A and B are shown apart, each in its own frame.
Chain A
Amino acid sequence: MSGVYGRGEKIFQVIIHIFLGIFAVCAILPLIILVTGSITSEQELIQDGYTFFPKSIDFSAYKYLFQQAGQILNSYGITLFITIFGTVLSLVITPLLAYPLSRKDFRARNIFSFLVFFTMLFNGGIVPSYIMWTQIFHLKNTIWSLIFPNLLMNGFNVVLMKNYFAQNIPTELIEAAKVDGENEFGIFFRIVLPLALPVMATIGLFVGIGYWNDWTNGLYYVSEPELYSLQNFLNRMMQDIQFLMSNSQIQSGGQMAAAFPSTGIRMAISVVGILPIVVLYPFFQKYFVKGITVGAVKG
């Protein structure tokens, strides 16, 4: 971009800063409530309600969590492993599927595109999936059960990537490479992939968040605490609290509920759940932005 900006450009910049500022404030205020909620004393929450400026700061919610530090650390390890492994694997198979579908000279692309798209509309539900993954692939209570079911690749990401390839990889470039004697694999790895970094970074981000936040696989396929991912561990607690509080027929519900952590602790739990992403995200984003700028260099 040139260094000279007109007056219109300046006004434009001011306007987008204002808008983005508003969006950012809207995004962050509720999160501040989450953090202050987790460090406000239970008594103040109950008697005076929520506030941005608690009268007294109370870390007992975090102390409560610290007692489970062993489990939480182990769960972090599981989460980190599945996130990294799953994302990398996904970034191998997704573009490999998406790229041929974007090539107009791939004759079967319509059929396969439809097959990919169809998976977004229909699914068999949890029962057949569960039977397949546990009875044929024997994934129950293994770490693979946190990686393979559902999360590895989805039609949406394939279509997104295919769309990007179709739009942003000029056909002439591919033709030129062919003339130079590159085969299809060479074209894909040496020409297409480097140009696809923005979309790779985007899909990687989505898949990574998917793995980080997933707890349903763990809920169905894992019953051993050493395999609990962080979100699985946290969500079990949350879902059980909610279930027991709203299920009328469990006679001893009151007895169970008595042992449940209060809202402040539940908020602390979720802070613990997203904090690592907030810390790690900027590092990841370095590559993300780099990917984007590399993609933009060619013109």
Chain B
Amino acid sequence: MSWLEHTVFIATVLTLAHPLGTYLARVCERRRTFLDPLLQPVESALYRLFGVNADQEMSAVTYACCFLSFGAGCAVLLFLLLVMQHVLPGGPADAYLTTPMTMALAANTAVSFTTTTTWQAYAGENTLRYLSQVIGLVAQNFLAGAAGLAVGFAFIRGIARQSSATIGNFWVDLVRSLLWVLLPLGFIGSLALIWQGVPLGLSPYTLAHTLEGRTQVIAQGPVAALEFIKNLGTNGGGFFNANGAHPYANPTPLTNFIGMLAICALPAALMITLGQLTQRLRAGWLLLSAMVVLFVGGLAVCEHAERTLPPQLAELHLVGGNMEGKEVRFGIGESTLTTVVTSNSSTGSYNAQHDSYRPLGVLVALTFLLLGEVVFGGLGTGVYSMVMMALVAAFLGALMIGRTPEYLGKKVTAAETRWIALYVLTTPMVVLVLTAIAVLTQAGRAAVSLNSGPRSFTEILFAYASCMANNGLALSGLDANNVFYNTTTVVAMLAGRYGLAVLALVTAGLFAGQRRVASSGALPVDTPTFALLLLGTILLAAAVSFLPALAMGPVAELLQR
């Protein structure tokens, strides 16, 4: 039945894209919405409290500085909370908190959750207090998600506006993203999860006496407060070690479907917001359809890989696909859907253990991480991930026909091209250099002893690709809680979040200063031809950078037998 579920999923995302995109455009442009009577008093009270003049706009550089300072503030607050968590009251009992909250782990977690990466080098149920999870992590799931959406709004404005020195006010975008989007949707979604069985309590771990006369201790906690917003804010880090595979975090196929929808719906809708505000709606739909093509392609390959019994088990007379690390309630279909959704959207909320995937299944997830989250992408950040690639495609297309490159009515001149090129080069530089360092050092290699050969290399490459994409998915055979990985992954997370966002904002600032040109016979960007060019550009850019690395990892493993 998985083809039906996959089709319904994509159809739902596309159906929601227009209404949600229109709503997001209203939030972005501070136009009237039905929630205004309820939220405007809160909004203005917050501005007064912060000392923010909501009508005072910012240049791209000022906007980026505010974004950076907010992220830094959040990281410091979360770090302090984590290192002092032993003084917090409430569960779970100390006996269960077996992983020490070291400085390196606290710093890693603080950066991880404030960059929407939510890479987790710890297991929630034996590391964190309930209150650390709520006051610390739930808050950051909201705030980092909202900050990302704010940057997305600013980026869209930069392309949409003409002769403007400013691209919006970060504090206004942040507050409006929270009040108008994440808090109301987060509340409804969290209630839906509770209805389906996600617990929300502060009681100690439950001691059960089983029918067979033994005991089982069951970890509890305020799980539902985290599990929906982790997806909606495209963060992904779960309450428990097993994340979305844990039956408390993701009890039914419906909760999984809702979670995947929460991840994709807003980033997909932002393509329509972009199209509306730049008055190039067709170009917005075109970007969305290019995403769907990549999505469907990856899903088909991953589904095929995992439906097939691994050859190592061929002689054992087993029936079914590769169920190692997968849950019965999700089966192969919902596991692969989740793999493709999460690896694409900077949301590492997996529901199956990817290290037990077949090499081809891993290759799909890894490729999507390395493409730079262009398919839907992170909340807000996905807009510029895709548009930056579209700018490269427009540039290449223009070279072919010998015209000045244009995109969405803006000329791509030498000034913008410099920043775009830097943007495109950042991901391969960071990922490949860090992977090389890990492979060359004893500390880097010592962490991948569970599996061996090409899979060990893949685990390392996957870790940095995931952190650079602010994704947080992991091949968990990698033992990540040590000083080496706690520090090096931070570098990738910071580069992926702030490095790329600043480059995108600066580019948007340059576009904002331009007048919109009437189409001058340049390459049209809302035709199937451009979609093909865009897809080719995305795949080729990744292939040029990463093919050798992929060949040493999943491809080598694939060819092993």
- Decide whether A and B assemble into one complex: no
Binding site for A on B (CB under 8 A): none
